[in-house]
Structure 1
Amino acid sequence: MRGPSCRGLLCLVALASFTESLAAGQRCPHKLKESVNPPRGWAKHSIPPAEHNIVLRIALPQPNFGVLEKHLYEVSDPYHPRYGAHLSKEEVDGLVAPHQESIDAVDEWLMSYDIKETDFVRSPAKDWVTLTLPVRLVEEMLNTTYHVWKHEGSGDSIVRTTSYSLPENLHEHIDLVQPTTMFGQFKEMKSTIVWSDDTEAPSQSKNVASIHNPATGVPVDASCNKTITIKCLQQLYNAVGFTPTQLSKNTIGITGYLEEFANLQDLQSFYAEQRPDALNSSFEFISVKGGLNNQTLSEAGAEANLDVQFAFGLSHPIAGTFYSTAGRPPFKPDVGTPTNTNEPYADWLDFVLSHPNTPLTVSTSYGDHEQTVPESYARRTCASFAQLGARGVSLMFSSGDGGVGDNDANPATQTCFTNDGRNATRFIPLFPASCPFVTSVGGTQNVPEIAVSRFFSGGGFSDYFPRPWYQDKVVEKYLKALPKGTYEGLFNPAGRGIPDVAAQGDRFRIWLRGVPRSIGGTSASAPTFAGIVALLNDVRLSHGQPPLGFLNPLLYSKAVSGFNDITIGHNSGCGTTGFNCTEGWDPVTGLGTPNFGKLKKLVL
């Protein structure tokens, strides 16, 4: 076991072992690890109780992640000989495992505070350590001071610090520690629900006028310009009459957070109206970190119901799974031991990465402003999504509903400002949609389709992640066509472009708390696209081929002609009209919306 060295400094006493030095009260000096400016809108409120518990997550380095990334791109590239040769859980764990010396160094550091191995949990690859500690001890370990911070707009409160330090010898063995500097407001990506008293089912029959859809040639019921149903999506995306057959192999999952519960009674009402052949079918419920399954009708969640009803309704009879992940920021200042205030998708990732079998298609309709998530944490979380992609999982994330920022017309409440202390105006992309290892889904409306306009499809360019190779051709074409100087300084033209694709995202008819409601947002677009991906997986599986896995290298190459190009619309935000839709890829609707009839041939 290698004892830690105080890099650049001489320890005062030569010690036989690190453990003995700790017993003697000697520790290497702390050195600043990370420091941030508090995001706009957050202000110090109070001091948390000394015994307030923090669920601390420590990330150890993944020295072979570059090798994993190489595998990921090879098995995801339809023109590579290894296409579809996804890795096993064990193979992925081996590629992200830290060096033993990092494990030893972190263990010894924890032991110096009387924290035993039985007091913490390791991830399967041993690249994360999770433990619960009182804030007074965390402050000592990280040489920092935590405060209760309050958000001026929402009133939310969280326990955070703006900087933390680690013993100098540990900097090479620890990538990050959270929650420390993260001020994100993890939220669902949906626009305001339309609370209509009209409960009459939309009329869709042979007697109703239809609209010619030039993108596919398939007629679409005229009612789809007022209300989106499963039948509308099947018509719009050329999937009418397709029935999945690979039911023992294919799966689709929805992630639920922030105490959003998918109600079974509402699902049956939805099926009775829009998918009668699915009546009396259900989904598998999985609790993550104590996530609840409250089936009281009055507790049904609009987001959870929307995601489940349309993803599972569109992909029926493919087996569905709903994950309920516990943890709901914010912290309540008058409670000593609140629920976990970490970003809950980290807990979901821990869970699914520890299991060998995960749904082949997963949709998530939640996210944060990218700049409120520390870059170190965003990169590590993105790396976890890469692990799932390498294992053959397709991940969809909503691109957001605020256009290029927050779509707030009031300058006093806009969040389109940098967090670097300059408060400079800046477009604000969303994370995890900005991660290059997931598929980001924007929103459309109407027949023929245009970019959604009641809210605005999230899109733009990441400030954290550089443009991935699979986007080079289409994004460069888009940027070259922009008039010189357009939004100069407001976005990063070298960043990963958002979104990748789009789907309908407004006027979705769901059942909520016993009655039909109309709802919109890219939180409708992501599960819709996920439903199409599940059908495409069925096509591949029925031909004896592996599932699609990480989609983007395929979408931007062999499958690019399988999308309906959206050329009308824009995504306002930050006091601007945002970017415009145009021929080919654009940072509003990506490559466009899916044409299942074409894609089912292109994916083989």
Structure 2
Amino acid sequence: MALRKCLTILHVVTAVYGGMVVHESRSAAPSGFVSQGPAPSNEMLILCVALTSNNLEQKLMSVSTPGNSEFRQWLSMDEVKAFVEPSPETVAVFTSFSSANGLKPTVISPNGDWVSITFPVSQANELFEVFAHPSMTNTITRTLPVSLPSELVGHVEVIHLTTAFVGPNVRGGPVSSNFDTEVVPESCNSTVPTGVITPTCLQDLYLIPKTHATEKGNSLLVTAYEEQFSQRADLAAFLQLLRPDIPPTTTFTLLSVDGGVGPQNLSEAGTEASLDIQYTTGIATEVPIDFLSNGAADFPTSLKVCNGYMALTSRGVSVVWRGHHDTLAVCNDTVFIPVFPAVCPLITAVGSTQGFAPEHAINFPGGGFSNFFPRPSYQDERICAPTFAGIIALINDRLIAARKPVLGFLNPFLYSRASKAFTDITIGHNPGFICPASSVAFDAAVGWDALSRSPTSVNPPLASIDKMQRVSAHRVAAALL
């Protein structure tokens, strides 16, 4: 098999543990996936198990919700670890189960909440099958039902990747728009290059500070997956053309995880990764930028990954993710597939708009609702990711300079105190890249809607939202808390 496989406990030999409880199941494989028959009995499976952690979410809500006595008292690494690591009881139960069944788990995470076990299909059961998809060059081994020994219920949170079917990605090209040149900043009437939204246009349109950041304790991390690589030469050319006030020698620091690389050959350049770096650098002026290249092909199950983001945001890190991808399984279908990680309520997903006067919700964001996670408490009352992340980095720079806590987890703040800083998007329809405009989709409307969610910034400037004054974003340090 070409894919690395993290599969299941399932009916692993349970000579000591008898009762089984269904942990997860699906009635059939998704559309397009066809079974090729049983998996070979000698195929080796890598079982990845997430052990249950303590409840960090309640603490995160306390430190990130305006008005709470703990607001923005972000946790230390040791405090987060105490929440994330499994309890001694959970470790003992899982260790006992593994020993009784001849399994040798290996801890694969710093906090001990992820373990892996390697074993052949023959040691599991007959339920593994090989699946193929016409748009994929490789096959995957999966099973539809997943069961746990009753003794492990409550101690195992995630089993990776038994019932997950990851299909081919659909990518679209750049979107151009016609602008009403009479009601937009002059800097948005771009002629070099024509029709491109430039950093200067965004600065003028959303009142983003143009002064350079100064705090070295502040930084912005851009992540890349699916062999997307950012090019230093492209960044230099971008700055020379669109931000000539920033030295073209300005670059990013390459970080790597799971064998990630950063080739600088133009033939391997990634459009999305390069744009992410260019616009974060072009907006967050002089904020140190790191680029994280991820070499892993697979990701753990949604719930555990979301919990990982929760651990990160509880430290005071703002996690911003692009939300604009297709959500329909088929153009004539009525089932909307949640896009991860945008559905995770513990990160901030940012969609896009197109045009001016008025702005329209772009036609391909993933709107709708999560069928994995319940509605978080901050939604009870009700820009593209690189640009928005750049704005947050600039605000954090001024907060650090004023010796104040950084913004951290944004959502409770955005849905309450900051809600009036945004403009309502009322026009738009999102059938996606490959479906006709008449396809079933979500529409923008007055107030909250499933397409645009919270509206676009900024009115008054986002930098002044804590005091709700129509002041320039340049005065953010004085206006925020």
TM-score range, shorter chain: 0.7 to 0.9
- Which residue among 365, 368, 373 is the counterpart of 1:457? 365
Partner of 2:198: 229
CA contact (8 A) 1:55 1:179 kept: no
- Aligned amino acid, residue 111 of structure 1: S
**Cα distance in 1, alignment partners of residues 231 and 44 from structure 2:** 32
Aligned residues: 443
Partner of 1:532: 391
- Which residue among 166, 169, 176 is the counterpart of 1:184? 166
Partner of 1:482: none
- Asked if residue 588 in structure 1 is aligned to residue 451 in structure 2, the reply is yes
**Cα distance in 1, alignment partners of residues 427 and 336 from structure 2:** 21
**Cα distance in 1, alignment partners of residues 45 and 213 from structure 2:** 46
- Aligned amino acid, residue 89 of structure 1: M
TM-score normalised according to structure 2 size? 0.84
2:412 counterpart SS class: helix
- Asked if residue 378 in structure 1 is aligned to residue 305 in structure 2, the reply is no
- Kindly report which structure 2 residues correspond to 1:351-366, keeping only aligned pairs within 5 A, or say none: none
CA contact (8 A) 2:38 2:126 kept: no
Partner of 1:522: none
- Aligned amino acid, residue 450 of structure 1: E
- Which residue among 564, 568, 578 is the counterpart of 2:423? 564
- Asked if residue 90 in structure 1 is aligned to residue 71 in structure 2, the reply is no
**Cα distance in 1, alignment partners of residues 204 and 120 from structure 2:** 55
Partner of 1:125: 111
- Aligned amino acid, residue 35 of structure 1: S
- Kindly report which structure 2 residues correspond to 1:300-315, keeping only aligned pairs within 5 A, or say none: 300-315=269-284
1:481-517 CA distance string (max 9 Å, x none): xxxxxxxxxxxxxxxxxxxxxx1xxxxxxxxxxxxxx
1:31-65 CA distance string (max 9 Å, x none): 14332231222111255555555443101112x31
**Cα distance in 1, alignment partners of residues 443 and 253 from structure 2:** 41
Aligned-residue Cα RMSD (Å) equals: 2.8
- Aligned amino acid, residue 86 of structure 1: W
CA contact (8 A) 2:399 2:405 kept: yes
- Aligned amino acid, residue 563 of structure 1: F
Partner of 1:80: 68
Partner of 1:547: 406
**Cα distance in 2, alignment partners of residues 446 and 289 from structure 1:** 39
Partner of 1:29: 18
Change beyond 3 A, Cα 1:123–1:597? same
1:473 counterpart SS class: coil
- Asked if residue 317 in structure 1 is aligned to residue 289 in structure 2, the reply is no
- Aligned amino acid, residue 429 of structure 2: H
Superposition deviation, residue 449 in structure 1: 4.6
2:356 counterpart SS class: coil
- Which residue among 466, 473, 478 is the counterpart of 2:374? 466
Partner of 2:471: none
**Cα distance in 2, alignment partners of residues 240 and 219 from structure 1:** 17
**Cα distance in 1, alignment partners of residues 32 and 449 from structure 2:** 31
Superposition deviation, residue 103 in structure 1: 0.7
Change beyond 3 A, Cα 1:452–1:596? closer
Change beyond 3 A, Cα 1:231–1:252? same
Partner of 2:141: 159
**Cα distance in 1, alignment partners of residues 450 and 394 from structure 2:** 26
Change beyond 3 A, Cα 1:284–1:186? farther
Partner of 2:8: none
CA contact (8 A) 2:230 2:274 kept: yes
Change beyond 3 A, Cα 1:52–1:235? farther
- Kindly report which structure 2 residues correspond to 1:202-281, keeping only aligned pairs within 5 A, or say none: 211-213=182-184, 219-223=186-190, 226-239=195-208, 241-246=210-215, 248-276=216-244, 277-281=246-250
Segments of structure 1 that go 5 or more residues without pairing to the other structure are 1-21, 197-208, 329-341, 347-376, 417-424, 475-502, 504-524
1:559-601 CA distance string (max 9 Å, x none): 1122232222222368645333233332222222222872112
- Aligned amino acid, residue 445 of structure 1: Q
Superposition deviation, residue 325 in structure 1: 1.0
1:440 counterpart SS class: strand
- Aligned amino acid, residue 469 of structure 1: S
Compare 306-315 and 225-234 and name the one that shifted more.
225-234
1:59 counterpart SS class: strand
Compare 579-588 and 548-557 and name the one that shifted more.
579-588
CA contact (8 A) 1:244 1:317 kept: yes
CA contact (8 A) 1:396 1:526 kept: yes
CA contact (8 A) 1:266 1:305 kept: yes
**Cα distance in 2, alignment partners of residues 463 and 392 from structure 1:** 27
Superposition deviation, residue 219 in structure 1: 4.8
TM-score normalised according to structure 1 size? 0.68
**Cα distance in 2, alignment partners of residues 589 and 157 from structure 1:** 36
CA contact (8 A) 1:536 1:600 kept: yes
- Asked if residue 427 in structure 1 is aligned to residue 394 in structure 2, the reply is no
**Cα distance in 1, alignment partners of residues 187 and 44 from structure 2:** 55
2:461 counterpart SS class: helix
Change beyond 3 A, Cα 1:543–1:190? farther
CA contact (8 A) 1:451 1:569 kept: yes
1:322 counterpart SS class: strand
1:394 counterpart SS class: coil
CA contact (8 A) 1:93 1:124 kept: no
**Cα distance in 2, alignment partners of residues 405 and 278 from structure 1:** 43
- Kindly report which structure 2 residues correspond to 1:509-524, keeping only aligned pairs within 5 A, or say none: none
**Cα distance in 2, alignment partners of residues 438 and 384 from structure 1:** 10
Superposition deviation, residue 280 in structure 1: 0.9
Superposition deviation, residue 154 in structure 1: 4.4
2:352 counterpart SS class: strand
Change beyond 3 A, Cα 1:82–1:222? same
- Which residue among 386, 399, 403 is the counterpart of 2:323? 399
Superposition deviation, residue 305 in structure 1: 0.9
Superposition deviation, residue 27 in structure 1: 2.0
Change beyond 3 A, Cα 1:297–1:113? farther
Change beyond 3 A, Cα 1:168–1:449? same
- Quick one: percent identity of the two aligned structures? 35
Segments of structure 2 that go 5 or more residues without pairing to the other structure are 1-12, 467-479
1:463 counterpart SS class: coil
Partner of 1:520: none
1:148-177 CA distance string (max 9 Å, x none): 211234455322221233333223322231
- Aligned amino acid, residue 125 of structure 1: N
Change beyond 3 A, Cα 1:240–1:93? closer
**Cα distance in 2, alignment partners of residues 324 and 168 from structure 1:** 39
- Which residue among 45, 49, 58 is the counterpart of 1:58? 49
Superposition deviation, residue 461 in structure 1: 1.4
CA contact (8 A) 2:16 2:101 kept: no
Runs of 4+ in 1 over 6 A off after TM superposition: none
